[in-house]
Amino acid sequence: MGRVEGKVAIVTGAAKGIGAATAKALAREGAKVVCSDLDEAGGQAIADEIANDGGEASFIRHDVVNEDEWEAVAKHAEDRFGGLHILVNNAGIAPEGGPIEDKTLESWRRTLAIDLDSVFLGCKHGIRTIKKYTSKAGAGGSIINISSILGLVGQPSASDYNAAKGGVRLLTKSAALECAEAGYNIRVNSVHPGYIDTPLVRDTLNRGVVQGQKVGPNEMRELLIMLHPVGRLGIADEIANAVLFLSSDESSFMTGSELVADGGYTAR
């Protein structure tokens, strides 16, 4: 207990999946957590669950592609909990796949906006806010950007998602260097999950397309499992534990790094 004691965190996309697991993990280890999401009922339920378990959390509705709302979320963290030290840029979508030649510019731009522009906005306003509460000799800050294995390797019919998540990986490195050179004592790292058994991935299963193949949901699940040498999909708590590590001082020498938690998917 207490690995992030006394720190204030924002977790985007906190209503379900990796975001919900991360918000709860940070709260269990002592952080005060702002849960943000477009899903008001789901996000409030996670904040209430944290409070019922003895933690401190609040919920705020948040469209992550709206810059004004980013400013409001950062201000909410300061007003409600007295500062900000940790930001987890988790919110995102897994768009319907399709060949580049058939993809519309509108759908391309939507994916890039939600999966990449939102991380830019989060880093921008996260750095501006967190730096007020960190110093070289004092408490450190941490920004964790949730990318994907598809930010490391290509996959057919996923050009927009590949581009967005690859962009998150290199945006993370640029932000990490800027913060280090400015002396802000803010570390910036990315996490690259494999396929995790979350509502987002279950939606992908129901679509029945993996690496360009069209199959049924059950066969789709087996195909995905076969891509992971450990022989199973991941669970949200395993990614939350990786985020918790990067949020804590245990990872104090890590910045601009990518932490891959993929059951061996990218090892082949």
Burial class (CB in 10 A: 0-12, 13-18, 19+), 255: buried
Catalytic residues: 161
**What number is the average pLDDT over the span 181-196?**
97
Predicted confidence band of residue 218 (pLDDT cuts 50, 70, 90): confident
Sign for the CA dihedral angle at 201, 243, 25, 58 comes to negative
Model's pTM, two decimal places?
Answer: 0.95
pLDDT of residue 208: 64
The model's pLDDT over 189-208, given as tens digits with 9 standing for 90+, comes to 999 999 999 988 888 777 76
**pLDDT of 212 strictly over 60:** no
* Residue 180: closest CA among 171, 169, 190, 188: 188
Matching CATH number, 8-194+236-267, of 3.40.50.720, 3.10.20.10, 3.40.47.10, 3.40.50.300 = 3.40.50.720
Q: Where are the domains of the chain?
A: 8-194+236-267
